[in-house]
Amino acid sequence: MPVAPHISDFMASSSFIRKMFEEGMQLKQQYGADKVFDFSIGNPDLEPPAKINEMLRELGESHESRLHAYMPNAGYPETRKAMAEKVSGEQGVEIPFTHIVMGCGAAGAMNSVLKAILSPGDEVLVSAPYFVEYGQYVRNHGGTLVTVPAREDFSLDIAAIGAALNGKTAAIIINSPNNPTGKIYSSDEMEQLGKTLEAHRATCGRTVMIISDEPYREITYNGKTVSPIFPWWKDTVVVSSFAKNLSLPGERIGYTAICPDAENSLELAEAVAYTTRILGFVNAPATFQRIVAACWKESVDYSVYEKRREILMEILDAAGIPFLTPEGAFYLFCRVPERKHTTGEAGDDAAFCDHLKKYRILAVPGRGFGKAGWIRLAYCISERSIALSRDAFIQAGSAW
């Protein structure tokens, strides 16, 4: 049976990260793991807190009945109360547990939100560069993703966002710390964004929702913190997960948190619980709902990522590859250097990634994130592998 043409097209253009990741696995089998430098995918390699494995053992030995049974689509009340406590502290606004819906990762949560709010023809804005899957998430529910270029330092271009708003705009997605740039948006940016959306509502009559994608919130450097959004714009939902901060990407556990002062906030929470069911998720995984409720406060040493960042930045400086210093997450967004020995279009990020591959360095072209001329390096790999990549980067930079 043929695959839908638009799915075939998008598979070819948007699965480059996974393809690179799979190619890296093949290269490691061919050359050995220590001779391949795979910066392609944001797959955290820090071990989860010890308490998580302790709870897994306890639950595995438990004789409690109906341990794996259905629960309300929104999740266990105890888990939702724990997430309400977490988000209340982050946002400085008291969140009732009724405004929390557990989800299958941040991606599942975002799809549930978009399903709940979008009508055919609606638009969703995003500042570019952005996580590539957003376009498909929006399209899944009849919407169109509209990209707005960020400022030169990758902060939000509030004026450009204001100019892009129109009567079809239903939401704007923000991601801080940002994937792929590591940029953290300031409190002033959040305030100005809120004022821009308020002015738009006053003239257009339509409320635009902010969807804040926050899986990297805890991973920040140099004392930086992620600004709350609820105080600046009430019609905001947060989607997040424990994939990055607790290193649980494969467990697909996340949540949606809805500002209680948002328009029709309780109805929206009920709608997100409903769309979680009809999208086929039904509910978030039972075992890890229990685990994150008990473990979300567990401490994790993110200085490991900070040290890796410093090592990789020094290597890139030596290789002559310019980059933006990330304020959070675990990605370095690098500008394609000027060609010295190769021919072709200046700033060709796909060609530069192919060039790096000759030195067994795997990177992702920036055009996939809406920013051609750049590449993304994920440094959630071992410090040893980063250090061993030094000669390869310098040779690749010299030969480019």
pLDDT digits (tens, 9 = 90+) for 36-78: 999 999 999 999 999 999 999 999 999 889 999 999 999 999 9
**Is position 250 within any domain?**
yes
Using the 3D structure, point to which of 295, 330, 360 is the last residue of a domain: 295
**Is position 58 within any domain?**
no
Do 166 and 129 share a structural domain?
A: yes
257: which residues sit within 8 A by CB, 6+ positions away?
Answer: 83, 84, 87, 91, 95, 99, 100, 237, 238, 239, 240
Do 38 and 106 share a structural domain?
A: no
Return the residue matching tokens 């498909």.
136
Do 142 and 32 share a structural domain?
A: no
Do 165 and 111 share a structural domain?
A: yes
Do 322 and 232 share a structural domain?
A: no
Do 227 and 97 share a structural domain?
A: yes
**Is position 53 within any domain?**
no
pLDDT at residue number 4: 79
- Alpha-helical segments (H) within 221-348: 265-278, 286-295, 303-319
Is the preceding peptide bond at 177 cis, omega within 30 degrees of 0? yes
pLDDT at residue number 334: 98
pLDDT at residue number 364: 95
**Is position 9 within any domain?**
yes
pLDDT at residue number 3: 83
Using the 3D structure, point to which of 263, 295, 327 is the last residue of a domain: 295
pLDDT at residue number 8: 72
What is the extent of the structural domain holding 40?
Answer: 5-48+301-399
Beta bridge partners of 255: 102, 240
Residue 168 sits at φ, ψ, to 5 deg, of: -90, -5
Do 246 and 329 share a structural domain?
A: no
Do 231 and 255 share a structural domain?
A: yes
pLDDT at residue number 16: 60
- Residue 332 belongs to domain with CATH number: 3.90.1150.10
Confirm if 132 and 368 have CB atoms less than 8 A apart. Answer: yes
Do 334 and 284 share a structural domain?
A: no
Using the 3D structure, point to which of 295, 328, 351 is the last residue of a domain: 295
What is the rounded end-to-end Cα distance, in angstroms, of the chain?
A: 44
Do 227 and 210 share a structural domain?
A: yes
pLDDT at residue number 350: 96
pLDDT at residue number 34: 79
Identify the segments of the chain with pLDDT beneath 50: none
- Residue 135 belongs to domain with CATH number: 3.40.640.10
**Is position 65 within any domain?**
no
**Is position 54 within any domain?**
no
C-alpha span between 14 and 22 (Å, rounded): 14
**Is position 358 within any domain?**
yes
Number of domains in the chain: 2
Beta bridge partners of 148: 127
pLDDT at residue number 138: 98
**Is position 64 within any domain?**
no
Do 324 and 196 share a structural domain?
A: no
Do 122 and 30 share a structural domain?
A: no
> At CB < 8 A and 24+ separation, what contacts does 88-95 make?
90/217, 90/226, 90/228, 90/238, 91/228, 91/229, 91/230, 91/231, 91/238, 91/257, 91/259, 92/228, 92/230, 92/231, 93/228, 93/230, 93/231, 93/259, 93/260, 93/261, 94/260, 95/257, 95/259, 95/260
